[in-house]
């Protein structure tokens, strides 16, 4: 049986993070190196890392302008540990920090099949006629 969840407001070890990041399959498209990902973490405003028995099992981060907008990125829970409330705890900390700062708008992109998780945690889908836009660099 795994131990207690320990949440830390700090970046994880980059090698542990890359292992967790790769569980998502996202790096098949992004093809980022550990060095690149270290820069990503360094440029984040707020980070929450989740551990069980010193194993990194969850992660989330925020970037923001500090007043109007914040964006949550890389909400990840190791597939082996999903469904145990880890993602909910991380998300609550990320949202709580944004609220504490007085940020007015928190956004995120949700992975396919994860919409209900975010709705359950207070997020709303944008209307189909106003979903926003993105520019993907290939």
- Residues labelled catalytic: 118
Report the C-alpha gap between 62 and 105 in whole angstroms: 12
Distance of CA 92 to the CA centre of its chain: 11
SS3 at position 68: coil
Q: How far apart are CA 38 and CA 17, in angstroms?
A: 9
* Total residues belonging to the chain: 138
Distances (CA, A) of 14 to 7, 56, 78: 17, 11, 15
């Amino acid at each position: 049986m795994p131990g207690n969840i320990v949440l830390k407001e700090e970046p994880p070890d980059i090698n542990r993070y890359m292992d967790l990041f790769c569980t998502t399959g996202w790096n098949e498209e992004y093809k980022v190196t550990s060095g690149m990902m270290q820069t990503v973490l360094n440029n984040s405003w707020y980070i929450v890392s989740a551990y069980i028995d010193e194993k990194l099992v969850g992660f989330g981060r925020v970037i923001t302008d500090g007043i109007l907008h914040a964006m949550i990125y890389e909400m990840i829970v190791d597939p082996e540990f999903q469904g145990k409330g880890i993602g909910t705890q991380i998300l609550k900390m990320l949202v709580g920090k944004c609220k504490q700062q007085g940020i007015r708008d928190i956004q995120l992109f949700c992975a396919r099949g994860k919409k209900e998780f975010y709705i359950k945690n207070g997020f709303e889908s944008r209307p189909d006629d106003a979903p926003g836009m993105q520019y993907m660099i290939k």
